[in-house]
Amino acid sequence: MAASAAHLATRRLLGREGDEDGAIGEALAAELDRMKGMAMKVGQILSYFDGVLPEETHAALRVLQRGVTTLPYDRVAELVGEALGAPPEELFDDFGHDPVAGASIGQVHRATYRGRRVAVKVQYPGIAGALATDMARVRALSHLASLGTAVDGPAIADELSERFQSECDYLAEAAAQEAFRRAFQADAQVSIPAVVPERTAATVLTTDWAEGRDFYTFAREAPQEERDAAGRVLLRFAHRSFFTLGTVNADPHPGNYLFPGGDRVVFLDFGCVRRFSQDFVERERRLMQVVAEGRKEAFREAVRSSGMVTDPRRFDFDLHWRMLRHQWAPYLSDDYAFSLGHIREGMEYSRPTNPNLRRLAIPPAWIWLQRLQWGLHAVLARLGVRGSFRGLLLEILAAPMEVLPE
């Protein structure tokens, strides 16, 4: 699989993209879907994070956002019984035998509970152990991956492992989903399905059923005005989550959104949630304010205060300024159009030719903030969102922090 991905990336760089790219992408998608766990997560990220692979391959990998390979119903019934103490027929008014979606850790079934339409996510058996094994291998390689840099590879591997293992705890996911739902309940444009606690356990999660167009249907059919409005909701949700609540749902892939119409967005799947210390949030807030307001004279100190620069004498602050101005370009003007070109250009800063990459001491928590920001921008580029987002961000940056309840 790695060889196929490298082959595709090389073809894109050499300008040799063509029919073969889609075929290889379909083969990759089928194998990643079969493996589930870490492999499928990587495929999901590649499916929407443009610029890494040819467009035909990105399109072929989109199937991973909903899943294809699923468990048979008999096995699902056994798993529900083990988790909740009785088979689905006794616990629900009705329970769909065929899943409506599959993901890296579990699959979703439509059901009815006391007349209430619900979605029931059932975890794949043995997935927690498989993820632990995958991450043990990643940690073993992390020393090599960080050689010659200031990055603590094992610390980042441990961070990834902790987050992926927490995704296997559906009780923790249910608590996070309810916390976000309460935090945004006054926002009429944000919809988060309520959890059904009496039908939820560590490996089974039941929530209200949500309707809406899937991401790619919405991107294809919705008028520009509606896509722009939805984009503002996605941005507000992400930035308010981090800068105000100090907590993010760090998995912004397109399969986690539904669009029921107008300017409303349904947010699904709160398994990959990361809380940040207030000190970390305030350092990032200050850095973003300095960049957004164009105060280059304060930039060096803001970057140093972030704790990411190991040797200021050898660090290229001008290059880092250009990199962050590019990353946060959507918030630097009063008229901006998200584009795939912006994502691809941003990836140029991650090439080995950037000398700062060897001199950044990356805090483990920082990787989730980057995944959210770049992933969200890739999603908005797919929607072709346009508008003025500077005022939206500055307003959120000026708001005091709140505490998202556990």
User: What 3-state class would DSSP assign to 158?
Assistant: helix
State the average pLDDT over residues 344-354: 84
CB atoms within 10 A of CB 264: 17
Question: How many angstroms separate the Cα of 279 from the Cα of each of 46, 162, 208, 296, 311?
Answer: 32, 21, 36, 22, 22
CB atoms within 10 A of CB 233: 19
The residues near 123 (Cβ < 8 Å, ≥ 6 apart) are: 79, 105, 106, 168, 170, 203, 204
Whether the pLDDT of residue 15 is over 60: the answer is: no
CA distance 397 to 290: 11
On the CB side of 75, CA atoms within 13 Å amount to 11
Strand 204-208 vs strand 336-337: parallel, antiparallel, or unpaired?
unpaired
CA distance 183 to 167: 21
Question: pLDDT tens for residues 111-154?
Answer: 999 999 999 999 999 888 887 887 777 777 766 666 556 567 78
Question: pLDDT tens for residues 299-329?
Answer: 999 999 988 888 889 999 999 999 999 999 9
Whether the pLDDT of residue 250 is over 90: the answer is: no
Whether the pLDDT of residue 38 is over 60: the answer is: no
Kindly report the backbone phi and psi dihedral angles of residue 280, in degrees, each rounded to the nearest multiple of 5, phi listed first: -65, -45
- Structure-token pair, residue 365: 């928590």
Whether the pLDDT of residue 48 is over 60: the answer is: no
DSSP alpha helices (H): ranges in 266-360? 278-292, 299-305, 317-327, 340-347
Kindly report the backbone phi and psi dihedral angles of residue 222, in degrees, each rounded to the nearest multiple of 5, phi listed first: -70, 140
Picking from 149-153, 177-181, 262-266, 355-359, which range would have the lowest pLDDT averaged per residue? 149-153
Whether the pLDDT of residue 228 is over 80: the answer is: yes
Does 249 or 48 have the greater pLDDT score?
A: 249
Whether the pLDDT of residue 190 is over 80: the answer is: yes
Question: pLDDT tens for residues 363-387?
Answer: 888 888 988 898 899 999 999 999 9
For the chain, give percent helix, strand, coil, nearest 5. Answer: 55, 10, 30
CB atoms within 10 A of CB 139: 17
DSSP alpha helices (H): ranges in 146-223? 153-166, 170-183, 215-221
The residues near 52 (Cβ < 8 Å, ≥ 6 apart) are: 9, 46, 347
Q: Residue 181: what residue type?
A: R
Q: Residue 189: what residue type?
A: Q
State the average pLDDT over residues 295-299: 96
**pLDDT value of residue 44:** 58
